[in-house]
Amino acid sequence: MAAKPKTDFETALAELEKLVERLEHGELPLDDALRTFEQGVALTRQCQSALKAAQQKVEILLRRNGEPAPEPFNEPAGAAEAVGAD
């Protein structure tokens, strides 16, 4: 079986939103809910990777152009834990 090609960020995010909607209805059998949750975790990681890569590209472009380096975003205390940050 060939590896599934990675989808772009927007497609992955749309799929993730659909999975969340299915899970929120709470009408899935346990096995289906677990599979759906597992897919959601994979899509979340894929989206996080895409966002991190985009951030790194922006930082590189800013450094190349002699612009000041961006300052890190300071999340409110506990925000990272709330979204399940690794």
In a domain, 74, yes or no: no
- State residue 61's pLDDT score: 81
Which CATH number belongs to the domain containing residue 18 in this structure?
Answer: 1.10.287
Model pTM?
A: 0.62
In a domain, 43, yes or no: yes
Which residue range is the domain that position 37 belongs to? 9-65
In a domain, 4, yes or no: no
| Domain count within the chain | 1
What string of DSSP letters covers 34-83? HHHHHHHHHHHHHHHHHHHHHHHHHHHHHHHTTPPPPPPP-PPTTHHHHT
Which of 10, 19, 25 minimizes the C-alpha distance to 42?
19
In a domain, 18, yes or no: yes
pLDDT one digit per residue (tens) for the chain, 86 residues = 444 555 689 999 999 999 999 999 888 899 999 999 999 999 999 999 999 999 998 888 877 766 565 666 666 655 444 444 44
